[in-house]
Amino acid sequence: MLLTGATGFVGRSLLRELVFRGHEVVGTSRSITAAHESLPEHVRFVAVANLIGGEDCAKLLHRVEVVIHCAAVAHGKVGDTEAVNVEATANLARQASVAGVKRFIFISSIGVNGCANARPYTEYDTPEPVESYARSKWKAERRLWAVQRDTGLEIVIVRPPLVYGPDAPGNFGALVRFVGKGLPLPLGAVHNKRSLISRDNLVDLIITCMGHPAAANQVFLAADGEDMSTSELLRRLAIAMGKPSRLIPVPSSLLKLGAILLNKQPVAMRLLGSLQVDITKARECLGWEPPLSVDEGLRRCFAQDQDKP
């Protein structure tokens, strides 16, 4: 199988689990240095600077039955995001169909559904992406369905919310740093509900989608199956880290006002707003259950040697 983005946060963990389960994997990444540092020695690795070029794709897809496409640009310029997240994805899928690949698994984003909700998102909701990254993922999904209609290539789309794990980047990494420093946080009175997914649970779902016959041509939302408020997440995160939880109960209305004054509304929305994910479809269609609880997923974030070969 082919795994793009094999040195990324999700990709490197997925690669190790695939190898552990006995799969033969070809991994790709932009950086040869990152590959040498991150990939098991016996994995075939191909450095690919740009998946848009057809020649690279043709070489990568020889004798491949399943493609797992994790590679993406999350915080680049709009042009770069479109080129990698949309055009490269469509090109890879088209060439995968020509090469005889059976199934193409695309790691999308819950942002395709939207960025906040009053009830849990499902796969049947009308997409309402807000941010540029989510819009690029939605465009890529539509291009993939066009390839599926034209060629019969099996498409599986997985939309995870925030993914956490050892050395997680982004918002989760920022929370870890704040808790680790013992800084008091004014989030003790936040009573929202948010879904997350541990990296290990996401990897398990992706691998389930590889061979399950019912996964073909489906979209699956991914989550741990247990929603938490931001304040509860911080308390449980502190327990996992062995740190004190220093939360000050400031009303959410005051925090929202402060965010407006400081022009930090997107940050406030992630901390104060609700974003819930319903994983009923994955449970019923695939018989999938998240193997790790939230507490175990958080504990593993701080276990030693999680990411070493």
- Catalytic residue set: 133
Q: Cα–Cα distance between 178 and 184 in angstroms, integer?
A: 8
Nearest 5°: the CA angle 160, 157, 121 is: 50
Q: Cα–Cα distance between 159 and 101 in angstroms, integer?
A: 22
Longest CA span, the chain: 58
What is the Cα 229 distance to its own chain's centre? 20
Q: Cα–Cα distance between 253 and 309 in angstroms, integer?
A: 46
Q: Which amino acid belongs to residue 128?
A: E
Neighbouring residues of 65: CB distance < 8 A, sequence distance ≥ 6: 1, 101, 102, 103
Q: What is the DSSP string of 129-196?
A: --SHHHHHHHHHHHHHHHHHHHH--EEEEEE--EEE-TT--HHHHHHHHHHHTT--BS-TT----B-E
